Amino acid sequence: MDAESVTVAALGTLADRGEVSRHAVAEAAAKYKIDDPQAAGPQTTDSGVA
């Protein structure tokens, strides 16, 4: 899971609690292109392939 997805998920939880607006969640998801798999950067961890 990437930092952008964690950020949007955290905002979603805060929205569920009424601490931030749903609009803020939608803005973050759009800004970080959460629904676009091509927006992710290159893999920076070990893929496990030797």
Q: 12-24 pLDDT, tens per residue?
A: 999 999 999 999 9
Asked whether the whole model's pTM tops 0.75, one would answer: no
Q: 1-50 pLDDT, tens per residue?
A: 788 999 999 999 999 999 999 999 999 999 999 988 777 666 667 767 76
Beta strands in the chain (DSSP E): none
